[in-house]
């Protein structure tokens, strides 16, 4: 189903290094999140007001933040496509990382606010009459959130987007939180126990915890994390596969956003080879890395 959707809406959908393809896939995921979360907000807020349940309203507000988060992610994808300028010679790709961090901070702030409201509900509990409509809405919400988790995670992994992966993690957390609200609703309905405030507080704590985790994960590429072992091994093996290359050292990889990587390395070639031939080999390596891997490679020649 995933491939069918991508084929229908996106040309050359498997060329994940193409900035236009990445932007369209990111936009597809973001719009899906915006539309589905708005529908969930409407359903949950109405169900919460009808039943008087603070936990369902809190869950609906959480979905509202998810929709806003998807809007932020969408803006991040748009801004990351801006061309390099005098102030930013390596482009604006890190806007996507900033968008992921903004989503994480938003998740944390929502969790703190819900926690404050929930504590008041725990101190002054009320009897809740859930009824079947709110319960049905919660079940539908869980199903939709699990589908969004798989859909957005798949797209995020395909284009290596930390912003989309952060959104997919949040969708999974929403499904877990809504499940907790649903279980509490059943217990409160049939056992006549005032658990709504506690359920709301549990959702808030869960959101705060995951907000902190997401902030740690999304801030790392902004600060400049080390390249993955897979990428280092790939670059190393590819360079060593070229004829005349004896070895390499001082490999450095700079990440300026998904699909905007720059790398430099010192390559060792025999001093017996004509320097013009050696430089032709190095030019070929740089060109093929840029064309096939979208990595801007700069190589220093070390005659051995």
Query: Which domain-ending residue is among 223, 252, 281?
Result: 223
Whether residues 251 and 157 share a domain: the answer is no
Q: Which of 208, 223, 238 is the last residue of a domain?
A: 223
Please give the residue range of the domain that contains residue 268: 229-303
Whole-model pTM over 0.85: no
Give the span between the Cα atoms of 50 and 38, in whole angstroms: 18
pLDDT in tens, the chain (304 residues): 556 666 666 666 566 666 677 777 888 888 888 999 999 999 888 888 877 777 788 788 878 878 887 887 788 777 777 777 788 877 777 787 887 788 788 878 878 877 887 787 778 776 666 677 788 888 899 999 999 999 888 888 887 777 788 778 878 878 887 887 788 777 776 766 777 778 778 878 877 887 888 788 788 878 877 887 888 899 999 998 888 888 888 888 888 876 678 898 999 888 888 888 888 888 999 999 988 888 889 888 888 8
Same domain, 92 and 193: yes
Q: Which residues of 100-129 are buried (b: 16+ CB within 10 A; e: fewer)?
A: bbbbbbbbbebbeebbebbeebbeeeeebe
Say how many domains are in the chain: 2
Residue labelled with tokens 């006549």: 192
β-pairing verdict for 295-303 and 261-269: parallel
Residue finishing a domain among 166, 199, 223: 223
Q: Looking at the structure, do residues 126 and 256 belong to the same domain, yes or no?
A: no
Asked if 299 and 218 sit in the same domain, the reply is no
Q: Which long-range contacts (CB under 8 A, 24 or more apart) does 183-187 make?
A: 184/55, 185/53, 185/55, 185/56, 185/128, 185/130, 185/134, 185/135, 185/138, 186/135
Residues 125 and 162 both lie in one domain: yes
Are both 234 and 195 inside the same structural domain? no
Phi, psi of 261 (to 5 degrees): -110, 140
């Amino acid at each position: 189903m995933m491939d069918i959707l991508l084929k229908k809406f996106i040309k050359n959908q498997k060329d994940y290094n193409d900035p236009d393809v990445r932007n369209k896939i990111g936009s597809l995921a973001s719009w899906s999140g915006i539309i589905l979360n708005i529908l969930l907000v409407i359903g949950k807020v109405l169900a919460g007001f009808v039943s008087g349940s603070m936990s369902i309203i809190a869950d609906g507000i959480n979905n509202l933040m998810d929709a806003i988060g998807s809007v932020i992610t969408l803006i991040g994808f748009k801004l990351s496509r801006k061309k390099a300028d005098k102030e930013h010679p390596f482009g604006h790709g890190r806007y996507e990382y900033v968008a992921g961090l903004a989503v994480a901070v938003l998740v944390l702030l929502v969790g703190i606010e819900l926690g404050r409201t929930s504590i008041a509900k725990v101190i002054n509990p009320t009897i809740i009459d859930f009824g079947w409509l709110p319960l049905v809405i919660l079940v539908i919400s869980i199903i939709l959130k699990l589908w969004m988790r798989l859909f957005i995670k798949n797209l995020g992994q395909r284009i290596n987007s930390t912003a989309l992966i952060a959104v997919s993690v949040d969708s999974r957390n929403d499904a877990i939180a809504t499940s907790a609200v649903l279980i509490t609703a059943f217990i409160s309905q049939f056992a006549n126990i005032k658990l709504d405030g506690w359920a709301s507080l549990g959702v808030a704590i869960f959101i705060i915890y995951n907000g902190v985790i997401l902030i740690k994960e999304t801030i790392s590429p902004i600060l400049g994390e080390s390249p993955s072992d897979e990428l280092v091994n790939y670059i190393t093996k590819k360079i060593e596969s070229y004829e005349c290359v004896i070895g390499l050292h001082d490999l450095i990889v700079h990440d300026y956003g998904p699909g905007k990587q720059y790398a430099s390395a010192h390559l060792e070639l025999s001093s017996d080879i004509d320097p013009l031939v050696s430089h032709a080999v190095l030019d070929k390596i740089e060109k093929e890395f840029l064309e096939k891997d979208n990595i801007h490679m700069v190589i220093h020649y070390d005659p051995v």
